[in-house]
Amino acid sequence: MANRETIVGAFVVGGVALGMGALVFFGNFNLFSPTREATVVFQGSTSGLSIGAPVTFRGVRVGAVDAISITYDARTHAAYIPVSVQLQPNNISIAGASGTHRSLSLQNMIDHGLRASLNMQSFVTGQSEIDLDFDPSAPAVLHPDIVTGKDIEIPTRQSAIQKVQETLTQLPLKELADNAQAALASIKQLSERLDQDLPPLVDSIKETSDHSRIAVDSATHAIQSLEQRLDTTLTAIDRLANTGTQQLDARGADLHQLLHSANDTVIQARDSLSALHDMTSPRSADRANIDSTLRDLSAAAAALRGFASDVERNPQLLLMGRRP
């Protein structure tokens, strides 16, 4: 009987030990490692964030959410959500440090841009987590009225999802919806108008196509007829050219004789012109004889004019003559 009780007690103690081990190794309890507390103050919604939610640094778990509360500021009428987190410094090592220099200064990391943001852990369950990362461009907005004493506050920054949400909230959705509705109405009107105008247009295009086909057929027939006429014309021109060639071959000797006679005539005319030029030259003897003859004829004509004038004044000169 005693042995049975001993066995049962040992089984119970072993179960309790196993349960405690499971809580230590798989839960959020860190009995054998030091933790450091910090506070993150959110002003927006923390939907999906719960106690025990992981705190990560670029996806690596470095702690967990310890407590979530609400603080209302009566002066500014603003509500804040302080979230207490438990960080595990043992998960973070410092490169190139040893001994006492291996201790991690959370305030130093905050001064160098450590910021906290609320990220969605799972889109299926809707659970959220707190992610830590360095972002010196994000201003360090602290809340000394909320985080008092020796507590360290990690400033927050907007997460990518929050930036997208803010961008979506700033979009003129109503204006976009109105424009989309107006565009749909215009498309509907255009569709109705096309339904009315397209059938006549299709008929007109079909009729134009028929006319075009008839015109193409007529042009084809005209081109074929013109092609036949051109063939006939080219044949006649070919015959004419052959006939002309034959006639030129037959009359070649006559043309040669005619050209030879014309050449002789031109040579004779050139010689005649040369002789005439020599006769009319100022130094030519023929030119002097012609000039003397012309002078004699001029003197005779002058004497004849004088005699005619005397006869006209005295007609008796023709009968009696001039008296000495």
Other beta carbons within 10 Å of 258 = 11
What is the reported pLDDT for 28? Answer: 47
Is 31 within 8 Å of 51 (Cβ atoms)?
Answer: no
Tokens of 72: 């209302």
pLDDT of 126 reads 81
Q: For the chain, what percentages of helix, strand and coil (3-state, to nearest 5) are there?
A: 60, 15, 25
Q: Are 49 and 68 in contact (CB under 8 A)?
A: yes
> Residue 129 burial by CB count (10 A; 0-12/13-18/19+): exposed, middle or buried?
buried
Q: Could you tell me if 70 and 84 are in contact, meaning their C-beta atoms sit under 8 angstroms apart?
A: no
CA distances from 22 to 18, 25, 27, 85, 152 (A): 6, 5, 7, 22, 31
What does each C-alpha distance from 29 to 14, 63, 87 come to in angstroms?
Answer: 20, 10, 12
Rg (CA), the chain: 66
pLDDT at 194: 81
Which of 35 and 269 is assigned the larger pLDDT?
Answer: 269
User: Do you know the residue count of the chain?
Assistant: 324
Mean pLDDT along residues 99-119: 78
Find all residues with CB under 8 Å of 68, minimum gap 6, and list them: 46, 49, 50, 51, 81, 82, 83, 84
pTM of the entire structure? 0.44
Q: Which pLDDT band, with edges at 50, 70 and 90, does 44 fall under?
A: confident
Question: Is the pLDDT score of 312 beyond 90?
Answer: no
Name the one residue in this structure whose structure tokens are 């050219």.
241
Q: Is the pLDDT of residue 40 over 70?
A: yes
Q: Are strands 71-73 and 78-87 parallel, antiparallel or unpaired?
A: antiparallel
The phi, psi pair for 176, rounded to 5°, reads -65, -40
The per-residue pLDDT for 76 is: 84
User: Domain residues of the chain, as ranges?
Assistant: 28-95+103-167
Whole-number average pLDDT of the chain: 78
Cα of 178 vs its chain's centroid, Å: 31
CA distance 10 to 20: 15
pLDDT at residue 322 greater than cutoff 80: no
Six-digit token string for 251: 């009359």
CB-CB contact of 135 with 154 (8 Å): no
pLDDT of residue 32: 44
pLDDT digits (tens, 9 = 90+) for 113-144: 999 998 888 778 888 899 999 998 888 888 88
